[in-house]
Structure 1
Amino acid sequence: MEQGGSNEVMAPLWKIIAIAAIAAGIQFGWALQLSLLTPYSQQLGVPHMWASFIWLCGPISGLLVQPIVGYFSDRTKSRFGRRRPYILGGAGFVGVAVFLIGFAADLGHMGGDSLDSPMKPRAVAIFVVGFWILDVANNMLQGPCRALLADLSAHNHKRMRVANAFFSFFMAVGNVLGYAAGSLPNLHKFLPFTTTVACDVYCANLKTSFLIHIVFISTVTITAISLVKETVHPAQKEFADGEPEPSTPFRKEVTTAFKNMSRPMWLLYLVTALNWIAWFPFLLYDTDWMGHEVYGGKPQGTNTEKRLYGLGVQAGALGLMLNAVILGFASLVIEPIGKLVGGVKRWWGIVNIILAIGLFCTIPVTRMAEAYRAAHGLVPPPANIKGGALSIFSILGIPLSVTFSIPFALASIYSSSSGAGQGLSLGVLNMAIVIPQMIVSVVSGKIDQAFGGGNLPAFIMGGVAAVMSALMAAFLLPNQPPSQASVPALMAGGGH
């Protein structure tokens, strides 16, 4: 059995599964964000090239919130535990945020927005505020959840990998449910009051989905934190009985974390950063690509164009649901496949090549759809074109399972072996995820606009980054990081 140099007793597997299940609640809302909110923001009047700037809130909040929450959750001395107060608080903020987003059109109309104007400034303002709160809340939830999984694993490296694989699996479950909700055209009939004079059928479906999200995340979070009690491990006592704590995480602790970072950890962060430069354009614009390029619709156009755009967004949500199904199955076999191909670093390289191929394949699918519309007019694409697009969504579930699991497992192993706090270490890792997202959010809209307003340029940029990430993962991540007794076994593909 692999050990991380600790005598702590591992929690039962069911406790790890209970905490990992919170990921389903987090990802349900994230799936709704990815599938519905970019089109929704454009329906409120936000131009396509500016839509990406709204998504800056996620990276910025992640840059600030996860390290801060991680730092304080490492040091919290509450009788309720270190991580659980932040998890519960994050879930509460999620409820507030999705209420603001779902009711933005209604609240904007109550505040004076005209139904005849394509731009609804008050609704946009409420939407953006809700969007920012939602991303802050998701970061409050996700970081402490992963840190608690590491705590429950008692620094056992194999159990950490298993815990992160379960977290990735439940993310897939949340994705399936969220994308399924986003793809149902008549979900609003479940809650008829969601349809109002300011909120059409598409808006009402979104509102209903988010109300379901409130109930779902509340249920899984309260259940998990009620069943799983935290205990003080020996590694935690350094903060309770040790030297005086620094005044802020950024002034000392984060700086120290970067100064003391080993070369393997720097390489891990660089591979992760390139990986997210590859992923974020697709995650940001996937349903918009289906509505605009594949189906030929527009969020602000004729009735036919609006109808086609809506059909495309729903088809994109279906594609994301298929993606999530593949993600779930792939998450459960990361460990054995890593052993089969010679190590998880090699598997990470392989799946990034799959990611690059998928992103590049959006080009021929788009060209075929354009050729079909040129010959037949504004009609939905035939089955072969739609099937090609959905195949891209589906196959990308394989690399996404690795992206959601392996970097976090490696970061937990490094931090446990060095004695660093799990919360802060995972918060610092999050910087390698959110800074690339900030870059993509700033440049992708301008790049797309410079090349005619479509989504392909950003996808191509992502494909190039995926190839670079694949090469670095396969050839530069070391097989034997220094002073890590158990990490070589992980990097080489296993060992028990």
Structure 2
Amino acid sequence: MTTTTTDAATPVASRPRLSGWAIWNMCVGFFGIQIGFGLQNANTSRIFQTLGADVDSLAILWIAAPLTGLLIQPIVGHFSDRTWGPLGRRRPYFLVGAILTTVALLFMPHSRELWIAASMLWIMDASINITMEPFRAFVGDNLPQEQRTTGYAMQSFFIGAGAVFASCLPWMLSNWFDVASTAPEGVVPLSVRISFYVGGAALLAAVLWTVFTTREYSPEQIEAFEQARPETAPAPARGLSAWMTGGLIWIVVGALGFWAVQASGLAKELLILAGFIAGFGLLQVLTGLMRKGGGSNGLTEIMGDIFAMPKTMQGLAVVQFFSWFALFSMWIYMTPAVTAVHFASPDAASAGYAEGADWVGVLMGIYNGVAALAAFLIPVIAHRTGLRGAHAINLLLGAAGFFGVFLIRDPALLWLPMIGVGFAWASIVSMPYAILSNAVPGRKMGVYMGIFNIFIVVPQLVAATILGVILKTFFAEQAVFALVIGGVSFVLAAGASLLVPKEAA
């Protein structure tokens, strides 16, 4: 990357344009991150069921992933905005997260108890989040506005390519190299274990590529770029009464949720959602008390930034909620849905289940492969329809894909709906970030990208706490109906995309 030498007192009109090769190097690390993410998504439910988990308990076991992201990404974003050292601003976080993720990938498939596997999922997802959040800010830091759609589309390409590799690994090992895909009860199959070893090595290598082939603008240079941006009126500061009143309202709502769950005998998973609501209220009260005493720290700054979000970000929050609710329904329930409906083998120890689970890995690879190719088409679509219109079109294609899985009964044809899911996935991991990076100040790129993750995490938290309850209560625990619910959620996300404020287009 070519850097521009300046001091903070000398405004610079714009970040210089970067070459295609420089953008490529910036995004290679996402190939590795998605290998870890893809292995997690395609195999975690399989590992849990192998270790004895019931279908209606899968969602609560998956809750580690959104909870860790909720806590870690805003914190990592806040501190990465303030980091500067020999490796720069974001790259130290890339490196630490990649090492920790690799270690988790090596250990998770050796779990012999369900609680150990759930703990390893927690560690793995925390590590992935440490690496992933700064990568989003990295593009916004280094590219001028007119290249950011291309930069996030390039990340989308690597996300798709990495997930294809990860999702297909168990299937390739069992079908091409005759590695066993079944194992005694309570033991993770060899094909899955080897996939995690290979994935860990590839993840670390890809992130190291980006760490050592890129450079970053210094804080002084970022500040100079920011001085050249048109000034926008700052959001009014939130007063003490607003912090205290708002916090108490959230605490009361959370407490009422606790009471309702206990009194009515609802599923205990809902206690987690009530706890999240009450916890957010408590953070508001703490922030108010700290600010009253004149204190300023990471918590008060992050909470202040949450309530000072640009209107564009507020509109995108709704889109993200329905988009990621849909995705999480697929990641949790695709394996039990396909193995039960399309392979008639709900027993996790059966050969039919193993065959169906391997096929799900291939389907995940297909939609990610489509996403890798769609990454080159999305900027073209966005040029014709605007960012909001392009995102809405792709989300509707995702809805059609989810409904297709429900309607199709021949497992050999399930690749067809994965095309629509692939376009939706490519758009979800690129378009909102392109819109957001143009709407937030560069000096706060990291923290706002981290806060933006809240609107990815909250829908996953909601899905993890209510989907199991819904399936058990209304659909006789038939996992395939979770995909129907996900399809409806995608339709709602598409409508919300068209309502994002005009400055996001």
Q: Same fold by TM (over 0.5)? A: yes
How much does 1:189 deviate? 5.8
3-state SS of 1:295 partner: coil
After superposition, give the CA deviation of every residue in 1:13-65 in whole Å (9 maximum; x if it has no partner): 32321121111111112111121110211110111111111211111111110
Partner of residue 17, structure 1: 24
Distance of 1:397 and 1:29 partners within structure 2: 18
Partner of residue 317, structure 1: 361
CA change 1:142–1:234 in 2 (3 A) is: same
Partner of residue 487, structure 2: 463
Partner of residue 159, structure 1: 147
Paired residues, what number?
A: 425
CA change 1:163–1:205 in 2 (3 A) is: same
Partner of residue 210, structure 1: 196
3-state SS of 1:453 partner: coil
Alignment of 1:2-401 (within 5 A): 6-105=13-112, 123-153=113-143, 156-186=144-174, 203-234=189-220, 236=222, 247-250=296-299, 252-300=300-348, 306-340=350-384, 342-365=385-408, 369=409, 385-401=410-426
Contact 1:38–1:284 (CA under 8 A) maintained in structure 2: yes
Distance of 2:482 and 2:165 partners within structure 1: 27
**1:411 aligned to which of 436, 440, 445:** 436
CA change 1:76–1:191 in 2 (3 A) is: farther
After superposition, give the CA deviation of every residue in 1:307-336 in whole Å (9 maximum; x if it has no partner): 111111111111111111111111111111
CA change 1:254–1:401 in 2 (3 A) is: same
After superposition, give the CA deviation of every residue in 1:292-321 in whole Å (9 maximum; x if it has no partner): 2211112346xxxx1111111111111111
Contact 1:188–1:204 (CA under 8 A) maintained in structure 2: no
3-state SS of 1:318 partner: helix
* Gaps in structure 1 of 5+ consecutive residues: 106-122, 239-244, 370-384, 482-486, 492-496
Distance of 2:183 and 2:414 partners within structure 1: 33
CA change 1:30–1:188 in 2 (3 A) is: farther
Contact 2:51–2:186 (CA under 8 A) maintained in structure 1: no
Contact 2:372–2:426 (CA under 8 A) maintained in structure 1: yes
How much does 1:337 deviate? 1.1
How much does 1:351 deviate? 1.8
Distance of 2:15 and 2:391 partners within structure 1: 31
After superposition, give the CA deviation of every residue in 1:453-485 in whole Å (9 maximum; x if it has no partner): 1113322222222121111212x1233x2xxxx
How much does 1:71 deviate? 0.5
CA change 1:199–1:466 in 2 (3 A) is: closer
Partner of residue 428, structure 1: 451
After superposition, give the CA deviation of every residue in 1:253-300 in whole Å (9 maximum; x if it has no partner): 222222322322211111111111222101222222211221111234
CA change 1:356–1:152 in 2 (3 A) is: same
What code does the residue aligned with 1:473 have?
S
Distance of 1:329 and 1:184 partners within structure 2: 21
Contact 2:101–2:200 (CA under 8 A) maintained in structure 1: yes
After superposition, give the CA deviation of every residue in 1:141-189 in whole Å (9 maximum; x if it has no partner): 1111121222221xx1121111111001000110111112032252796
Contact 1:16–1:152 (CA under 8 A) maintained in structure 2: no
Contact 2:171–2:358 (CA under 8 A) maintained in structure 1: yes
3-state SS of 1:296 partner: coil
Q: CA RMSD in A?
A: 2.5
Distance of 1:397 and 1:170 partners within structure 2: 13
Distance of 1:215 and 1:363 partners within structure 2: 36
Distance of 2:425 and 2:171 partners within structure 1: 20
Partner of residue 472, structure 2: 449
Contact 1:102–1:206 (CA under 8 A) maintained in structure 2: yes
3-state SS of 2:189 partner: helix
Distance of 2:76 and 2:305 partners within structure 1: 15
TM-score (norm 2): 0.79
Distance of 1:345 and 1:237 partners within structure 2: 29
Distance of 1:7 and 1:345 partners within structure 2: 25
Distance of 1:188 and 1:424 partners within structure 2: 45
Contact 1:35–1:182 (CA under 8 A) maintained in structure 2: no
What code does the residue aligned with 1:15 have?
A
Distance of 1:257 and 1:150 partners within structure 2: 18
Partner of residue 463, structure 2: 440
How much does 1:349 deviate? 1.4
CA change 1:246–1:187 in 2 (3 A) is: farther
CA change 1:354–1:59 in 2 (3 A) is: same
3-state SS of 1:77 partner: coil
After superposition, give the CA deviation of every residue in 1:421-468 in whole Å (9 maximum; x if it has no partner): 111010011111010000001111121122211113322222222121
Distance of 1:53 and 1:100 partners within structure 2: 21
Distance of 2:209 and 2:344 partners within structure 1: 44
**Percent of aligned positions with the same letter in both sequences?**
24
TM-score (norm 1): 0.80
What code does the residue aligned with 1:272 have?
Q
Contact 1:182–1:205 (CA under 8 A) maintained in structure 2: yes
Contact 1:74–1:236 (CA under 8 A) maintained in structure 2: no
CA change 1:11–1:354 in 2 (3 A) is: closer
3-state SS of 2:477 partner: coil
How much does 1:80 deviate? 2.1
Contact 2:182–2:351 (CA under 8 A) maintained in structure 1: no
What code does the residue aligned with 1:362 have?
V
How much does 1:11 deviate? 4.3
